[in-house]
Amino acid sequence: MAAEPALGLHGGCGTLDRSLMSEAEWAESRAHVADALRAGWAVLSKGGAALDAVQATVVVLEDSPHFNAGFGAALTENGTHELDSSIMDGATLAAGAVAGVQRIRNPVKAARAVMDSGRAVLLLGAAADSYAEKAGLDMVAPDYFTTQRRVDALANLKRRALEGTAAKASEAEKHGTVGAVARDRHGNLAAATSTGGFNNKPVGRVGDSPIIGAGTYARNGICAVSCTGMGEFFIRRVAAYDVAARISYAGQSIDEASRVLVHETLAGYGIGAGMIVLGAEGDPLAPFNTLGMYRGWIDTAGHMTVATHHELHHLGHVT
């Protein structure tokens, strides 16, 4: 029996205070979320694989300046970019990732290339850039990723560091991530995550996004997960896998497993956290404990919903 496809994404729990962007800018960010969902749905609606759907979804988010991945990525303390991404196939548990890359236009495509090679799960830095170039992926100059918003955020965080007020910075100033989860008509699950890391991060820092089991996890029959938040804590808690373990071993529902992890376990560290989660059956869930989280989904009935803060925007049935 064919499964009903479903697709979900997050654009990071570092959503700005509503007053910091115009309504036109908020509308554009929601439109980009919808565009990403349509890209993934175009794959699923034709009977395509969940793995291809999450990649297509994340590519659109990487190309948008509204999110901290690809174009518009965060800057390190040295004013450079180091991007991370991963992808995982729930059917086979195959996975691929890259970390600290500087010249790959769409890091999620590089993660997929690593996975498809079967020779590694994670490639780093210049070696990963070189691998992607040899694989024929689109390469860019490092300054392609830079936007004025990220330059301003870096300057503000450096000022806060000097003043001793860095802890008071908003989630949006500090970090952001994008990710997607999908289920295809064969019931296969997949997840992908991509990020520029957090603003003013140490050079060489790697967060949870490219770490399988921490920021990304997918396993058929259980769940697909992509996380967003301060990655160090997601690594320590093996957060994405923890959702699957709670379901598989503790018998928790996907709603309980993800909600407890976000609102109790991770919130207990005093950090902003969120995730997009999809189970073996049913619709995507998007728990978060921050002011907002860019997010959207197309449920098993084919209805699209997008959001930035707590109110939901229902966009009707996707054709």
177 is catalytic: yes
What are the b/e assignments for 50-77, b being 16+ CB within 10 Å? bbbbbbbbbbbbbbbbbbbbbbbbbbbe
DSSP β-ladder status, 6-10 and 295-298:
antiparallel
DSSP state of 201: B
User: Of 15, 76, 177, 290, which one is the catalytic site residue?
Assistant: 177
Rounded to whole angstroms, what are the CA distances from 3 to 45, 47, 243? 12, 11, 22
Residue 268 C-alpha from the chain's centroid: 22
CA distance 281 to 301: 12
CA distance 47 to 245: 29
> Phi and psi of 274, rounded to 5°?
-165, 170
> Comparing C-alpha atoms, which of 49, 40, 94, 45 is closest to residue 219?
94
Strand partners for 265: none
CA distance 172 to 168: 11
Given a contact cutoff of 8 angstroms between Cβ atoms, the answer to whether 192 and 235 are in contact is no
Q: What is the Cβ-side half-sphere exposure of residue 25, based on CA atoms within 13 angstroms?
A: 12
- Sign of the CA dihedral running 280, 285, 150, 238: negative
Active-site residue numbers? 177
